[in-house]
Amino acid sequence: MADVETDKGRARKRPRGGRAYGHGPAEAAERAWTPWLVPVLVVAFVAVFVVEMYVNNCPDHAQPFGRCFARFLHRFSFQPIRQNPLLGPSSSTLEKMGALQWIKVVHQNQGWRLVACVWLHAGLIHLLTNMFSLLFIGVRLEQQFGFVRIGVIYLLSGFGGSVLSALLLMNSISVGASGALFGLLGAMFSELIINWTIYSNRVAALLTLLVIIIINLGIGLFPHVDNFAHIGGFVSGFLLGFVLLIQPRVGWMERDDLPPSAQVTSKYKAYQRVLWVIALLLLMAGFASSLVMLFRGVNGNDHCHWCRYLNCVPTSRWSCED
């Protein structure tokens, strides 16, 4: 991600030609924010998973798929591998604790599941994968932009992923923070675009981000992965990045040290303002229309017959049916 310069009562001069996209040793020393939100989120996710396994209590229930895995953990042992290869609780435990399920959200007035499902994980492997990704992406973003903006992007992206998943994945349950993580990726992408003129090696950074995003979305085309949550989270984070991560144009922070003839007169460039307005309008319209459709019981697949292929592409080697 791009390093953000902050004004602490004195101007810092940017090097001619724009800043490099990334961190150097000197840039690292200038970071203004000490990350604490992302580590707290990681601890909270781990704590919730421990509660999941406590509630699950595998040894106390008859197991048609064989013995519990890692029985030395006693109450915290995992469901049989044949039932949950991700090393976690049963589906019924996840449902009990708030897994996303369309019928319960729409017909049983359990809208809280749109938020609760983001805090649950299907297994230890699922948890570790998401937490490493959160630490790798989230800590750097929080160092640059602070906990408020990154926290808002993370939570709203997770919510956006849940809404799209509920609209299009109606016959399965869904859990996990992947939608929120994809929101952070989307925000990185839009931050580079809206602050394009600030950076020097922007084309290389853009191509790198595109490759990472395409690979991760491509993985979601395999069975049993909720790619709708990934896409919903990514689009939400992408729009939120335009709104929340906009940075002043080159020369704005240094304007007091420049002669009047060289001072810039506006904080943002025209294209930044246009992108900011468009993103905000799309964000509000998208959330409003999606929530209205969801709570009216609309099946998103009736309006988008090809959307199912965004979640899983059937081949001769696997089926996309549950």
> CA quadruple 232, 234, 239, 245: dihedral positive or negative?
positive
CA 167 to the chain's CA centroid: 18
CB atoms within 10 A of CB 180: 28
| Residue reference for tokens 């509660």 | 51
DSSP state letters, 4-52: ----SSS--PPPTT-B-SS--HHHHHT------HHHHHHHHHHHHHHHH
d(CA 184, CA 237): 6
Contact 14, 264 (CB under 8 A): no
Q: Which H or E element spans position 202?
A: helix 202-219
The Cβ-side half-sphere exposure at 160, using a 13 Å CA radius, reads: 31
Catalytic residues, by residue number, are 178, 230
d(CA 157, CA 231): 10
d(CA 168, CA 26): 47
Main-chain phi, psi angles of 174, to 5 degrees:
-140, 140
Contact 231, 164 (CB under 8 A): yes
Main-chain phi, psi angles of 50, to 5 degrees:
-60, -40
CB atoms within 10 A of CB 141: 26
What are the tokens at 294?
Answer: 């969801």
